[in-house]
């Protein structure tokens, strides 16, 4: 077969690719099938399972701004924490313990905080932006500590009682309800995020990541796009925080800690940024490794996280999924040649 050199042909193929890439592929069902299978196969690990699902959601929200829009933030835990505290304060201080409406409240609070901070902070670049996002998280934690009469300080808000889901489904000891609840919320939000990244808006974000000057030059409202993406990501992170507070039935100032911002970044980098399923792969591997190794020795695990990061930066910059792709491409190349 002769190589097609006709430019219109190539253009047509490219448009075809763009039009088709948002279609669902069979492989996309795999993580969801595995998640459902886990529900039946590992009935005594469901509490842990819902923690994994929550981290997937949190990492997914970071992916939207870090992976797609290219904003490096060290303070994403701020929004996770705001979501968690929205739920906690609603229950403890206002007696409002209906879970679904609390999720929306958490998304709203975190989203508004994301909009306001993003509107101010996203004018900055590089190291300054890093420092400002880092300071936002620390500032919120200090604020929570300052008003410990409301937030409970470092002791947090223990003893939260969450109402049954839809007034029907009680939370059982094995976390069955929690697991399904987290999975459904994750699936709905994932579909929204998927829709966003394949939309023209998502393309614009990728454009900003790849070449912000060019996006300015073609007249794209760069700042507005970034603020919108940041707001959505913050709201999703808020939902993740809210789910975390609901499944654990407590919240402490630890939710704002830098460690959490770092952990979610590790998860995303490990799985692969700028790809929808990177968050899944990263969260599952990270959480399972942590669960096993931390029991053995916490230092060993922390050393392992550090080593993973260093290795990822040096050898697998596109994450595990990127690495798999590279290997797959290498094999198929070998086969054809």
Partner 1 sequence: MIGQIANILVDGLAYAMFLFIVSVGLSVTMGLMGFVNLAHGAFAMAGGYVVLTATRYFGVPFLGALVITFLVIGAISVVFERTLYSRLYKAGELDQVLLTIGLAFMAIAGITYLFGPIPQHVVLPHWLAGHIDIGLRTVPTYRAFLIVVGFLLVIALWYGFERTTLGAKIRAAVDNRRMAQSVGINVDLLFTLTFAIGSGLAALGGGLSIHLLGLTPTFALVYLVLFLLVVSVGGLGSVKGTLVAALVLGIFDTTGKYLYAEAGGFFIYAIAMAVLLIKPAGLYGRE
Query: Which residues are within 8 A (CB) of 267 and not within 5 positions of it... i.e. 6 or more apart?
Result: 55, 59, 279, 282, 283, 286
C-alpha–C-alpha distance, residues 140 and 227, integer Å: 20
Interaction of residue 62 with partner 1, rule CB under 8 A = no
Nearest CA among 81, 326, 56 for reference residue 179 = 56
Interaction of residue 155 with partner 1, rule CB under 8 A = no
Interaction of residue 289 with partner 1, rule CB under 8 A = no
Q: List beta partners, residue 251.
A: 157
DSSP 149-208: HHH-GGG-B----PPPBTTTBPPPTT-HHHHHHHHHHHHHHHHHHHHHHTSHHHHHHHHH
- 15, 146, 161, 331: residue in contact with partner 1 (rule CB under 8 A): 146
Interaction of residue 11 with partner 1, rule CB under 8 A = no
C-alpha–C-alpha distance, residues 299 and 276, integer Å: 31
Integer angstrom CA distances of residue 106 from 34, 234, 235, 237, 240: 28, 10, 7, 9, 9
Q: Which stretch binds partner 1 (CB under 8 A): 21-29, 242-250, 258-266, 320-328?
A: 258-266
Nearest CA among 95, 96, 64 for reference residue 79 = 64
Q: Based on CB atoms, which residue is closest to partner 1, 147 or 195?
A: 147
Q: Degrees (nearest 5) of the Cα angle 285, 170, 46?
A: 15
Nearest CA among 281, 247, 283 for reference residue 46 = 247
Q: Based on CB atoms, which residue is closest to partner 1, 170 or 299?
A: 299
- 161, 184, 307, 331: residue in contact with partner 1 (rule CB under 8 A): 307
Interaction of residue 292 with partner 1, rule CB under 8 A = no
Task: Name the burial class of residue 16, with classes exposed (0-12), middle (13-18) and buried (19+) by CB atoms within 10 angstroms of its CB.
Answer: exposed
Q: Based on CB atoms, which residue is closest to partner 1, 174 or 303?
A: 303
| Rounded least distance, CB 138 to partner 1, Å | 5
Interaction of residue 258 with partner 1, rule CB under 8 A = yes
Q: Based on CB atoms, which residue is closest to partner 1, 76 or 176?
A: 76
Count other C-beta atoms under 10 Å from residue 285's C-beta.
16
Q: Based on CB atoms, which residue is closest to partner 1, 185 or 267?
A: 267
| Rounded least distance, CB 146 to partner 1, Å | 5
- 126, 167, 200, 219: residue in contact with partner 1 (rule CB under 8 A): 126
Interaction of residue 294 with partner 1, rule CB under 8 A = no
Interaction of residue 131 with partner 1, rule CB under 8 A = yes
Interaction of residue 184 with partner 1, rule CB under 8 A = no
Nearest CA among 102, 121, 104 for reference residue 227 = 121
Q: Which stretch binds partner 1 (CB under 8 A): 10-18, 42-50, 131-139, 232-240?
A: 131-139
Interaction of residue 313 with partner 1, rule CB under 8 A = yes
- 108, 130, 196, 249: residue in contact with partner 1 (rule CB under 8 A): 130
Q: Based on CB atoms, which residue is closest to partner 1, 30 or 146?
A: 146
C-alpha–C-alpha distance, residues 160 and 87, integer Å: 9
Interaction of residue 172 with partner 1, rule CB under 8 A = no
Interaction of residue 66 with partner 1, rule CB under 8 A = yes
Interaction of residue 211 with partner 1, rule CB under 8 A = no
Interaction of residue 139 with partner 1, rule CB under 8 A = yes
Phi–psi pair at 169, nearest 5 degrees: -85, 110
Q: Which spans of this chain sit near partner 1 (rule: CB under 8 A)?
A: 66, 72, 74, 120, 124, 126-128, 130-132, 134-136, 138-139, 142-143, 145-146, 148, 258-259, 262, 265-266, 269, 298-303, 305-310, 312-314, 317
């Amino acid at each position: 077969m002769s190589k097609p050199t006709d430019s219109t042909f190539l253009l047509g193929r490219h448009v075809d690719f763009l039009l088709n890439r948002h279609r669902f592929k069979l492989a996309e069902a795999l993580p969801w099938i595995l998640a459902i299978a886990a529900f039946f196969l590992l009935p005594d690990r469901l509490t842990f399972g819902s923690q994994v699902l929550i981290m997937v959601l949190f990492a997914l929200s970071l992916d939207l701004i870090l992976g797609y829009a290219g904003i490096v933030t060290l303070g994403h835990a701020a929004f996770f924490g705001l979501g968690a505290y929205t739920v906690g304060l609603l229950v403890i201080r206002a007696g409002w313990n209906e879970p679904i409406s609390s999720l929306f409240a958490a998304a709203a609070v975190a989203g508004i905080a994301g909009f306001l901070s993003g509107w101010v902070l996203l004018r900055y670049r590089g190291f300054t932006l890093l420092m400002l996002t880092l300071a936002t998280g620390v500032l919120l934690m200090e604020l929570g500590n300052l008003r410990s009469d409301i937030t409970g300080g470092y002791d947090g808000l223990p003893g939260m009682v969450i109402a049954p889901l839809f007034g029907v489904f009680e939370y059982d000891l094995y976390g069955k309800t929690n697991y399904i609840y987290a999975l459904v919320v994750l699936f709905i939000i994932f579909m929204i995020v998927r829709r966003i990244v394949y939309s023209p808006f998502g393309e614009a974000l990728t454009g900003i990541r790849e070449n912000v000057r060019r996006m300015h030059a073609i007249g794209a409202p760069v700042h507005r796009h970034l603020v919108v993406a940041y707001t959505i990501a913050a709201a999703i992170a808020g939902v993740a925080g809210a789910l975390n507070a609901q499944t654990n039935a407590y919240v402490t100032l630890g939710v704002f800690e830098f460690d959490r911002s770092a952990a979610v970044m590790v998860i995303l980098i490990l799985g692969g940024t700028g790809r929808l399923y990177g968050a899944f792969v990263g969260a599952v591997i990270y959480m399972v490794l942590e669960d096993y190794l931390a029991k053995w020795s916490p230092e060993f695990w922390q050393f392992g996280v550090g080593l993973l990061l260093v290795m990822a930066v040096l050898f697998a910059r596109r994450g595990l999924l990127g690495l798999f792709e590279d290997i797959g491409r290498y094999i198929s190349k070998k086969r054809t040649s």
